[in-house]
Structure 1
Amino acid sequence: MNDGDLNRALRTSEASNLDPQLEQPMLALAKLALLADLTGVGRERFPDYLPGHRPTRVYQEARVQAGVARRVNAVTVEAHLLWAAKSPDGEYVERQTAIVRLQHVGQSWVPIRS
């Protein structure tokens, strides 16, 4: 199943309750935070979400295969993501799941640890 098929299947099983104009930036932010966590690249952009130093074991060739974002409450959105990458052990993994929570703080959205 290719990424487009995975995305369609995810969105069919778990539809978004957000306007597409809000969902797309939420997914983009969640993807950046997840990829920074997996690869170590861009961690400095999310100091509260990814505190500390670069991880010693990082994934290579990481990509988000599919995603859908849903509003939890007035200030919280959860992005449900499927991702693939080469593990630190060299094994290729795909269809891994992650949930990145985003919270509206001031005038912007930021990823938060729950």
Structure 2
Amino acid sequence: MTTPPRSPRLLVLSTVVLAVCGVALLAVPHGQEQAAPGSSPVSVTGVPSPAAAAPSVIAPTVAAAPSKPRAASPSPVVPSALPPHGEGVAGDRAVQQSLEAAWPADLPADDERELLATGRSLLRADATGIGREKWPELFPHSPAVAPAFAAARFRIQAAIARQDGRPNQAVVHLVWAGTDRGGTFTDLRITDWHFTHTVKKGAPTWTPQPHT
């Protein structure tokens, strides 16, 4: 089968189309590609912009430095729970244990016994008037001054004897209960008697100091 000759008109049209395509291709700058939809544009010259060339600076995450440890301070001694007011004799043991836990013993046993015996007697004499004649220098106005508490309702709940700053000084710390002349009962009262270690008649002893 013989192919019919192409029309000169069709050849001219094809030549025009090819020429237009060639011009369009020449108009596109060398090395530029059309960016795909959604992709970031690429620099025409291939040289990154200053913003792109500079590395991104990220502030380093600084962990909070631990606070400087404070100087170790003596931890307060936590005594055992005190009994409620009005507990009576049943609560005295807890008071005694609280004192001993708060102030550990620091005196020789013989000195502690002497101080406790004298301290208890002094407190009873001061509160009830009983035995004041033993210490006329401490109670010069007795018996003119009436006792503030009734002897029948007086009770020492707890007592300890400890050093008082220096080896030759001591303090007897007493907790007690009593009913005053107005009939009011109060427990967990606190009284301190201070002593100085002296020598009397050639024998060392603990001498009570007047209340100031």
Cα deviation for residue 50 of structure 1 reads 1.9
> Aligned partners of 1:66, 1:44: CA distance in 2, in Å?
24
Alignment of 1:14-29 (within 5 A): 14-29=103-118
Cα deviation for residue 105 of structure 1 reads 2.6
Q: Over aligned residues, Cα RMSD in angstroms?
A: 1.5
Cα deviation for residue 26 of structure 1 reads 0.6
**Contact preservation (8 Å) 1:64, 1:82:** yes
* Aligned partner letter, 1:70: R
Cα deviation for residue 46 of structure 1 reads 1.0
Question: Which of 59, 71, 80 is the matching residue for 2:149?
Answer: 59
Give the corresponding residue for 1:87. Answer: 180
Please tell me whether residue 69 in structure 1 is matched to residue 158 in structure 2.
no
Give the corresponding residue for 2:193. Answer: 100
> Aligned partners of 2:139, 2:97: CA distance in 1, in Å?
30
**Contact preservation (8 Å) 1:10, 1:68:** yes
Please tell me whether residue 50 in structure 1 is matched to residue 139 in structure 2.
yes
* Aligned partner letter, 2:97: R
> Aligned partners of 2:141, 2:113: CA distance in 1, in Å?
28
Between Structure 1 and Structure 2, the one with more strand by share is 1
Please tell me whether residue 110 in structure 1 is matched to residue 200 in structure 2.
no
**Contact preservation (8 Å) 1:48, 1:112:** no
> Aligned partners of 2:147, 2:161: CA distance in 1, in Å?
28
Q: Helix, strand or coil: the match of 1:4?
A: helix
* Larger RCO (CA within 8 A; separation ≥ 6): 1
Q: Helix, strand or coil: the match of 2:127?
A: helix
Q: Helix, strand or coil: the match of 1:23?
A: helix
> Aligned partners of 1:104, 1:69: CA distance in 2, in Å?
13
> Aligned partners of 1:53, 1:23: CA distance in 2, in Å?
28
**Length-normalised TM-score, structure 2:** 0.50
Q: Percent identity over the alignment?
A: 25
Compare CA radii of gyration and give the structure with the larger one.
Answer: 2
Cα deviation for residue 74 of structure 1 reads 3.0
